[in-house]
Amino acid sequence: MSAVQEALPAVRGSRDAIVRRFALTDAIFHGMTRAAAILVLVLLGGVAISLFAGSWQALSTFGFSFLTSESWNPVTEKFGALAPIYGTIVTSAIAILIAVPLGIGIAIFLTELCPRPLRRPIGMAVELLAGIPSIIYGIWGLFVLAPFLQTTIQPFIISVFHGIPGLNSLFAGPPYGIGLLTSSLILAIMVLPFITSITKDVFDTVPPVLKESAYGIGCTTWEVTRRVVIPYTRIGIMGGVMLGLGRALGETMAVTFVIGNAHRISTSLFAPATTISATIANEFTEAVGDLYTSSLVALGLILFVITFLILAIARYMLMRIDARTGA
Amino acid sequence: MSTASSLHTRRKTRNSVMMTLCVVAAGIGLAWLALILGALVYKGAAGLSFDVFTQMTPPPGDAGGLLNAIYGSVVMTVIAVIVGTPIGVLAGTYMAEYGRFSKLTTVVRFINDILLSAPSIIIGLFVYELMVRPMGHFSAIAGAVALAILVIPVVVRTTEDMLNLVPNALREAGTAIGAPRWVVIKSVAYRAALSGIVTGILLSIARISGETAPLLFTALNNQFWSSNLNAPMASLPVTIFQFALSPYEEWQQLAWTGALIITLTVLALSIVARSLTGRREDK
């Protein structure tokens, strides 16, 4: 009895010490995790600041004309971003036009038509393909797709549209194989897995009751998809498309192989062109002079701003559909 | 009656046409991807030999292998994972544990998702401005930092998601026996979410092992064996880029073989990662 009473203060003392130590170590761990979370914000802020600082020289030299000038002349040091911006937007837009109907079609196939045992393997294959590095698509585009287009498809299209006004300038020029259209095709196949897997995921969020009631009044599969599933998931699909667009805009290696790196704006889809990322990848290490390097960083800044906006919109849309399914 | 049945036929026909188009879309998509993988295996396997893993990258027109490029890729990937993983896991821990309902978490989640799909060449430019320009030369360590910045968002995302799946009853049980928060996180939450976090790390390795753009002007490339982290270092993707665009047949062959090696690595990592979480779901 007395022994316990004697021991108590000692126990209480060590207990206080332990609680204090726990509080301290917990505060340290809390601080570490918080610092790491803030570092993620600092990273993106750092990217924006460093790009802005690096491009300052070019932006202050050329001003607004950097965005509107087509010239890109390292000898006279006159730089304008219009041709790369044009190439980036045209290739991404065509890629999205090809990939979206295909992606939605595959998603419908996977959710409505595919025999059940095949669904998981095919769905998984699509997701695995989203992880294949872009340089693989680039090397395939350069050695397989471009020669194929050059020898078969392009001469055929050129001869067919030769006499039709409008279309003949869209498909004009010698068939190089590489160029805007080839890059668009490669980009389309690259973003296809992204669009497919997101569309499939949002299709799965449609409550079965909605679909069943439509089937119950005698709707066909297409009518259910068109009138129930797609309207219900419209925001999610748009989010997936924007996410794919963000990837297509910033995609570097696959495009660099097959775009041809020509700084001019051509109406023909068969002409070599360039994109922002391909220009940076091709020229950055060889750029001589501060103004040249700074202009390339300024291109990076433009790309950063465009993709940031697109991705922010995409995330906002996907967050909205998440909020709805969570509610 | 006849109008009703013709409407029925029209709807039936439209349905069949659209569904056929969907099957065609799936066929085109899968065939296209099969074509790419087929070409890769066909062309890449032709050059696959023991020499690829034991010889240095050759001068133009000579036979050789990819040893220094493979070594460089492995070294930079390992450093990137060692640097990026703790930051990513800690940030994910904050978002799922300490600050699950805080405003900071919402903002970090949004910014992290943008970093996750930001063009990797931008990260390359950032690290160029941050490290290469002040140091005055290209270096392997700059390449590793660029890759680490790509690792972080992947790990943050999966860590947060996996910790959010851990049932709160487990945490409450830990707290009820008097364990402080960090012990609960370390011994209960991390342990429950371990396979998911490992999946995230594997996926991030899969992501960076094929990245070329961020290495182009950070680690540059190196024709020779180099283990100096303060000097330019070869890497598999950059070597493929350089060799594929060269006019030399030996180099082009090595590029295809390198591409096959990368693809197999990435696919293997993804499959292992997926089977880890798959087993989790079955439980």
Rounded to whole angstroms, how far apart are CA atoms A302 and B65? Answer: 39
Residue B83 distance to chain A (closest CA, Å): 12
Q: Decide if B263 touches A, using CB distance below 8 A.
A: yes
Q: What is the pLDDT of residue A10?
A: 63
Q: Which domain holds residue A111?
A: 63-325
**Paired strand residues for A73:** A78
Q: What is the pLDDT of residue B263?
A: 93
Query: What residues of chain A, 231 to 270, have a C-beta less than 8 Å from chain B?
Result: 243, 246-247, 249-253, 256-257
Q: What residues contact residue A57 under an 8 Å CB cut-off, 6+ apart?
A: A290, A291, A294
Domain boundary, last residue among A61, A83, A106? A61
Residue type, B37: L
| A259 chain-B contacts, CB cut-off 8 A | none
Domain boundary, last residue among A43, A61, A79? A61
Q: Do A124 and B125 touch (CB under 8 A)?
A: no
Q: What is the pLDDT of residue B44?
A: 92
Rounded to whole angstroms, how far apart are CA atoms B236 and B147? Answer: 14
Q: What is the pLDDT of residues B240-252, one digit of tens each?
A: 999 998 888 889 9
Query: Which H helix or E strand runs over B164?
Result: helix B140-165
Among A247, A87, A102, smallest CA distance to A183 is for: A87
Computed on alpha carbons and rounded to an integer, the radius of gyration of chain B in Å comes to 24
| A126 chain-B contacts, CB cut-off 8 A | 29
Residue A55 shares a structural domain with residue A68 = no
Question: b/e map of A148-171 (b: 16 or more CB within 10 Å)?
Answer: ebbeebbeebbeebeeeeeeeeeb
Residue A136 shares a structural domain with residue A152 = yes
Q: What is the pLDDT of residue A172?
A: 77
Rounded to whole angstroms, how far apart are CA atoms A109 and A117? Answer: 13
Task: Quote the pTM value.
Answer: 0.90
Kindly tell me the sign of the dihedral angle through the C-alpha atoms of B24, A230, A306, A325.
negative
- CA A311-A313-A318 angle, to 5 degrees, is 90
Among chain A residues, CA nearest to B148: A43
Domain boundary, last residue among A10, A31, A61? A61
Q: What is the mean pLDDT of each run of 10 residues along chain A (327 residues)?
A: 59 81 91 95 94 92 88 88 93 94 92 86 81 90 90 83 77 83 92 90 90 92 91 89 91 90 85 92 87 93 93 85 65
Residue A85 shares a structural domain with residue A149 = yes
Rounded to whole angstroms, how far apart are CA atoms A144 and A163? Answer: 30
Phi, psi of A240 (to 5 degrees): -60, -40
Rounded to whole angstroms, how far apart are CA atoms B208 and B190? Answer: 24
Domain CATH code at residue A252: 1.10.3720.10
Coil, strand or helix at A73? strand
| A139 chain-B contacts, CB cut-off 8 A | 240, 244, 255-256, 259
Q: What is the pLDDT of residues B201-232, one digit of tens each?
A: 999 999 999 899 999 989 888 888 888 888 89
Residue A73 shares a structural domain with residue A110 = yes
| Burial tier of B86 (Cβ tally within 10 Å: 0-12, 13-18, 19+) | middle
> What's the domain count of chain A?
2
pLDDT band at B283 (very low <50, low <70, confident <90, very high): very low
Mean pLDDT of chain B: 90
Rounded to whole angstroms, how far apart are CA atoms A30 and A23? Answer: 10
Residue A162 shares a structural domain with residue A275 = yes
Token representation of residue B11: 């709807």
Residue A36 shares a structural domain with residue A151 = no
Most distant CA atoms of chain A, gap in Å: 111
Residue A188 shares a structural domain with residue A132 = yes
| B14 chain-A contacts, CB cut-off 8 A | 220, 222
Residue A143 shares a structural domain with residue A27 = no
Q: What residues contact residue A27 under an 8 Å CB cut-off, 6+ apart?
A: none
**Contact at 8 Å (CB) between A154 and A175?**
yes
Residue B55 distance to chain A (closest CA, Å): 23
**String of DSSP letters for A238-273:** HHHHHHHHHHHHH--HHHHHHS----S--S-TTS--
Q: Where are the alpha helices (DSSP H) in chain A?
A: 2-62, 65-68, 82-108, 116-130, 134-140, 146-148, 154-160, 167-170, 180-203, 208-216, 221-224, 230-232, 234-250, 253-258, 276-283, 290-326
Query: What residues of chain A, 91 to 120, have a C-beta less than 8 Å from chain B?
Result: 101-106, 108-110, 112-114
Better-scored residue on pLDDT, B274 or B279: B274
Query: What residues of chain B, 139 to 178, have a C-beta less than 8 Å from chain A?
Result: 149, 152-153, 156
Residue A258 shares a structural domain with residue A193 = yes
Q: How far are the Cα atoms of A99, A120, A192, A235, B229 from residue A110, in angstroms, in the given order?
A: 16, 9, 14, 20, 47
Please count the residue pairs, one from chain A and one from chain B, whose beta carbons lie less than 8 angstroms apart.
258
Residue A140 shares a structural domain with residue A48 = no
Percentage of chain B modeled with pLDDT above 90? 62
Q: What residues contact residue B239 under an 8 Å CB cut-off, 6+ apart?
A: B57, B66, B69, B221, B254, B255, B258
pLDDT value at B155 more than 60: yes
pLDDT value at B271 more than 60: yes
Residue A190 shares a structural domain with residue A317 = yes
Residue A150 shares a structural domain with residue A289 = yes
Among chain B residues, CA nearest to A280: B121
